[in-house]
Structure 1
Amino acid sequence: MLDSVPDILTFNECRKVLKIGKNSLLDLLHNNDIEGFRIGNRWKIPRDALLEYIEHRY
């Protein structure tokens, strides 16, 4: 399913995979529903964290 997704996703890549808006993803990151980290002012989301969120969501 997500074989073509890179190991580390940018904020926008993650939004596109989940098909959600900017504020929704920010809420998920700030609430630690999805594990992510910042490099400077940019969010990075590990693919494994995204997959874990998707598995627990459905």
Structure 2
Amino acid sequence: MIEAKCADSVMNITESEIRRFLSIFGEMDLVDSQVGRRGSCLTAKGQQFVTWLKGNSILS
């Protein structure tokens, strides 16, 4: 799903790159990754980080 969303936008990113980013974000406690259908979700810290990015015009 993440790969498809990126393909719809200007980002060209592979599944292996997404997995690598999720691993790094998990180490930073920004994402909680689970096996199977539970997938990955933002932690409270991750949600704060995204809010900060949006507030600083890094994300639109």
| TM-score, reference length from structure 2 | 0.35
- In our comparison, the structure showing a higher alpha carbon Rg is 2
More helix, by proportion: 2
Higher relative contact order (CA closer than 8 Å, sequence separation 6+): 1
